[in-house]
Amino acid sequence: MRYSIGIILGILLFVLSGCSSANETTSSSTNESVEQDVTPVDYSLMDIETEYQSLKEIEQDSALVAVVKLTGNVKPIAYQSANFTLTEAEIQKVLKGKHDLHSKINLLEVSVFNLNLTKKSDKLLLFLKKYVGPITEDAYTIAGVYQGKFNVISNKVVYDGDDYNGINTFQKAFDNKDLTEVEQSVQQEDQ
């Protein structure tokens, strides 16, 4: 079952990366930023496997829920004519799952939809699924591609998926709420 989910995710990422008309120039160093000339991000172009209807549903589907801080290390990955981005993040707080504080994780995304293009802060609350597939080892993907991504600005949680034509089912209920309040809601769902 996990292998088939990995294959489906891999195929989905491959197909989605081929949908872009973006021109990209990338650097091979993980400490250099990825320079991109891309069209504006439009989540409505995605075919999402799961449209999460509730906090409970996305939390249950996530192996790791954590507050992270992006380190600035971004690595482009080309795989079978598709472009992906591997972004490093440091764990600030774990709400679900097992990970050491201040440990580093990698986030795998399709380059044209990667969080570096839409982030409003380097601090994020993320609902993550463990990636299983051929593109890279030891990485996570955001649950629902963008549905499980919340910016944290001045200790407030900000969901901006609908700013990019994405869906908004339960997320706006947490928009502009205090991070501590949202963390408590997530931890209650995990019990």
Is 58 part of any domain? yes
Is 6 part of any domain? yes
> pLDDT tens digit string along 124-153?
999 999 999 999 999 999 999 999 999 999
Residue 63 contacts residue 97 (beta carbons within 8 Å): yes
> pLDDT tens digit string along 23-40?
333 333 444 444 444 558
* pTM listed for this prediction: 0.78
Work out the angle at residue 104's Cα, subtended by the Cα atoms of residues 184 and 159, and round it to the nearest 5 degrees: 45
Q: Tokens standing for 42?
A: 């439009």
Number of domains in the chain: 1
Residue 83 contacts residue 16 (beta carbons within 8 Å): no
Is 44 part of any domain? no
Is 47 part of any domain? no
Is 107 part of any domain? yes
Q: Tokens standing for 164?
A: 């990019």
Range of the domain at 58: 2-38+53-189
Is 118 part of any domain? yes
Residue 145 contacts residue 171 (beta carbons within 8 Å): no
Separation of alpha carbons 61 and 188, rounded Å: 15
